[in-house]
Amino acid sequence: MSNLHGKTALVTGSSRGIGRAVAMRLAADGASVIVHYGSNEQAAAKTVADIEAAGGKAFAVRAALGTPDGVDTLFAGLAAGPFGERLDILVNNAGGGGMGGSIAQVEPEEFDRLFAVNVAAPFFILQHALPLLNDGGRIVNISSCAPRLAAPSQVAYAMSKGAIDVLGKTLAVELGPRGITVNTVAPGATETDSTAAMFAIPEASAMMASMTALGRSGRPADIADVVAFLASDDARWITANIIDASGGTFLSPATGQ
């Protein structure tokens, strides 16, 4: 494990799933972690309790991202917390809004919701965070392998995640002089509580596994370990990259893998 002692990390959407795994891993590596959540206070409290039980430091902040005052609420909570306002690591993990459907199916309200949560929220979180981020800091944005797959049933979702890919590369150039690295992690289908119903169907679970070169679906720890590496000093010379952490999803059109 890397040494993140003395570092402060903000992980959005970290009460459950991939975000929880990232928060737990960064805390295990020594970082003090701000656990952001949107609505599930019980899950956030458990994440904080589990981090503290393992000897780490964490506190939770509630903010409904994708709403007009969500980002302001998030940073007001950060300022009122025990770690101060300075940040060393920012992980933009919160997202959602569904897959959207095909271009003929997507309603304007659904499109706006996808982009509010997946694009506008991380953009303005970054805008607020940059003055607080210490030089030499780390930014990791969680995207998806969807932008490279050209799946018609996910067109709006893939568009929103493609915007995050562009944001990461562009911001890396702007922040390079400050020694801040900006990278993007692109998971594939991952077994979390939000996807549990799908993976509970044996046929669906087998299909998801068959899409990957490694023959299984992703787990939150698979993604968290990549994020932890990018947050560490070992990744100091890596920036503006999109790291595909999908187990090699849909690499071969001939085999479906």
Residues that are catalytic = 157
For the chain, the distance separating the N- and C-terminal CA atoms, rounded to the nearest angstrom, is 31
Rounded CA separation 50/43 (Å)? 11
- CA atoms 141, 95, 110, 76: torsion sign: negative
Q: Which long-range contacts (CB under 8 A, 24 or more apart) does 148-151 make?
A: 148/186, 148/244, 149/249, 149/250
What's the rounded Cα separation, in Å, for the pair 31 and 138? Answer: 12
Contacts of residue 15, defined as CB under 8 A and 6 or more positions apart, other chains included, come to 35, 36, 37, 38, 40, 43, 44, 46, 47, 60
Distance CA 170, CA 161 (A): 15
- Rounded Cα distance between 178 and 194, Å, is 37
Dig out the tokens for 122 from the structure: 């991380």
